[in-house]
């Protein structure tokens, strides 16, 4: 259950209630999303200047479960890299209010895994194991 947020159009939104959807996956259960930076990159082409957009990585983190969907996606991308084929997916991140209603959303297109990581194991600790996917982003839109 998400904590109550005070109502109001100008009230800053909380960051703890969200949903992550990845095309082709049943559920992600992400516990953290680090959004990519979008940067305009002007470049000269002859006598004119054109701009392209460069995106940093989208980083998703969740507690490790028996599901191996994230690893399988990364492994598939690794195998496709050898064959020089890319099959980008769409990732949607939706911010929710306290009742689970969508408030705002972001869509990332042509998304591909570039790194996969597990958190350290510690025989003296008692913390969950996290898996992290670092994703390249081809396009971005806000809803």
Kindly list the averaged pLDDT for each block of 10 residues, start to end, along the chain of length 143: 60 87 87 95 81 94 93 91 79 91 94 96 95 96 89
3-state secondary structure of 94: strand
Residue 90 falls inside a structural domain: yes
The answer to whether the beta carbons of residues 96 and 103 sit under 8 Å apart is yes
Quote the domain boundaries for residue 44. 18-142
In CATH, what number is assigned to the domain containing residue 102? 2.30.110
CA separation for the pair 7, 17 (Å, rounded)? 15
Q: What is the pLDDT of residue 81?
A: 77
Q: What is the pLDDT of residue 12?
A: 81
CA separation for the pair 39, 57 (Å, rounded)? 12
Q: What is the pLDDT of residue 98?
A: 83
Residue 55 falls inside a structural domain: yes
Residue 68 falls inside a structural domain: yes
Q: What is the pLDDT of residue 7?
A: 56
Residue 5 falls inside a structural domain: no
Q: What is the pLDDT of residue 39?
A: 93
DSSP per-residue letters across 48-83 = EEEEEEEE--EEEEEE--S--HHHHHHHHHHHHHHT
DSSP 88: -
3-state secondary structure of 109: strand
Domain count, the chain: 1
Among 68, 56, 62, CA closest to 114:
56
**Which DSSP helix (H) or strand (E) runs through 129?**
none
Q: What is the pLDDT of residue 139?
A: 95
The answer to whether the beta carbons of residues 5 and 11 sit under 8 Å apart is yes
Q: What is the pLDDT of residue 47?
A: 80
Q: ∠ CA 111-117-120 to the nearest 5 degrees?
A: 160
Q: What is the pLDDT of residue 2?
A: 64
Residue 11 falls inside a structural domain: no
């Amino acid at each position: 259950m998400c904590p109550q947020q005070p109502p109001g159009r100008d009230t800053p939104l909380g960051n703890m209630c969200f949903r992550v959807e990845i095309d082709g996956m049943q559920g992600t259960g992400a516990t953290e999303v680090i959004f990519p930076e979008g940067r305009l990159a002007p470049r000269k082409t002859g006598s004119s200047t054109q701009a392209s957009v460069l995106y940093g990585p989208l980083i998703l983190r969740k507690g490790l479960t028996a599901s191996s969907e994230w690893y399988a996606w990364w492994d598939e991308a690794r195998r496709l890299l050898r064959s020089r084929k890319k099959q980008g997916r769409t990732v949607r991140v939706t911010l929710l209010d306290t009742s689970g209603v969508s408030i705002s959303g972001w869509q990332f297109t042509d998304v591909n895994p570039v790194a996969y990581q597990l958190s350290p194991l510690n025989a003296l600790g008692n913390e969950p194991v996290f898996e992290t996917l670092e994703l390249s982003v081809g396009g971005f839109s806000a809803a």
